[in-house]
Amino acid sequence: MFDPAELLRRYAVADRAGWHLRVNFIASLDGAATHDGLSGGLNNADDKQVFDTLRMLADVVLVGAGTLRAEGYGAMRLDDDAAAWRVAHGLPAHPVLAVVSSRLAVGPDHAAFTDAPVRPLVLTHEASPAAARLALSEVADVVPCGVDSVDVGLLRAALERRGLSQVLCEGGPHLLGALIEADAVDELCLTISPVLEGGAAGRIAAGGAQATRRLRLAHVLTAGDMLMLRYLRDGSSE
C-alpha cells in the first residue's frame, strides 16, 4: 500500500480555484478497458487506494449513466477519514456526483440518488425524455447542457456555475471520447494492470471524432507489477 501523504502530494492540483478536469481509468497490457465487462476486474487494492484519493480531492465526480449502471455505483459517500480530511481542508465532506446521460435510462430509485449525501446532478440535453427528466428532478438537479446532445462546453459551464472546478471523470469510454474530441482533458490517470485480456473488450475511449491531444508524463508509481501513470496536458505547470 502507498503512504497516504505521498499520494496526496503526488496527485494534488496546485490551483484548486482554477478549472481542472482529471480522468481516471484502468487498462490491461493489451489495451482492454474491462475484464468480463467491468473495469473493476482489472484492479487491486493499490489501484483502489489511488482511486479513493482522487475522489477525496475532487469537487465533483463525473460519470456516464452507462458506467453508473454497469459498474454498480452506489452513493458518492466517502469513508469517515476521507470526509474528515476534506472538512479540515475547507471542502464539503463529500464530492458531488454528476451523471451524464442522453437517454436518461437510469431511474430515480437508483442508490446513487436515493442514498446520496449531497444532491447529485444529472447533465443531459433538452431533447432527452421529458418524463424521465421530471422523475429524476425529485432526487437530483437535472441540467440541460445542449439542444439534442450533451455539449461539453455547456457541461463545463454548468459545473463552474456551481463552484465545482475540480472534476474527476471516471468514464465511461464514450464520455471520454467526447471529452477528447472537445479537448477538455487536463489530466489522465491511467493504471496499467499486468494482464493480457484478448477478446473483444473496448478501449478506454470510444466514439467522438479522431483527435490527437498531447499529454506529458508527470509521474509513475509502481505497486508490484501494477503501474499508476499520471499524465498532464502538455504545457501544464503542475
Buried b (16+ CB within 10 A) or exposed e, 208-219: beeeeeebeebe
pTM: 0.96
Grid cell of 179 as nine digits: 471529452
DSSP-H helix ranges across 162-220 = 173-181
Q: Residue 56: helix, strand or coil by DSSP? A: helix
CA 60 to each of CA 77, 79, 229: distance values in angstroms, whole numbers, following the listed order? 12, 16, 21
User: Judging by DSSP bridges, how do beta strands 20-28 and 60-64 pair with one another?
Assistant: unpaired
Confidence bin at 129 (pLDDT 50/70/90): very high
99: cell is 451523471
Contacts of 105 (CB under 8 A, 6+ apart): 65, 69, 132
* CA–CA separation, 19 and 159 (whole Å): 10
**Lowest mean pLDDT segment, chosen from 164-168, 220-224, 233-237:** 233-237
Distances 46 to 6, 50, 105, 221 between C-alpha atoms, Å:
13, 7, 33, 10
pLDDT digits (tens, 9 = 90+) for 46-62: 999 999 999 999 999 99
Q: Among 164, 66, 181, 178, which residue's Cα sits nearest to residue 118? A: 164
Give me the percent of the chain exceeding a pLDDT of 70. 99
- Span 179-232, pLDDT tens digits: 999 999 999 999 999 999 999 999 999 999 999 999 999 999 999 999 999 999
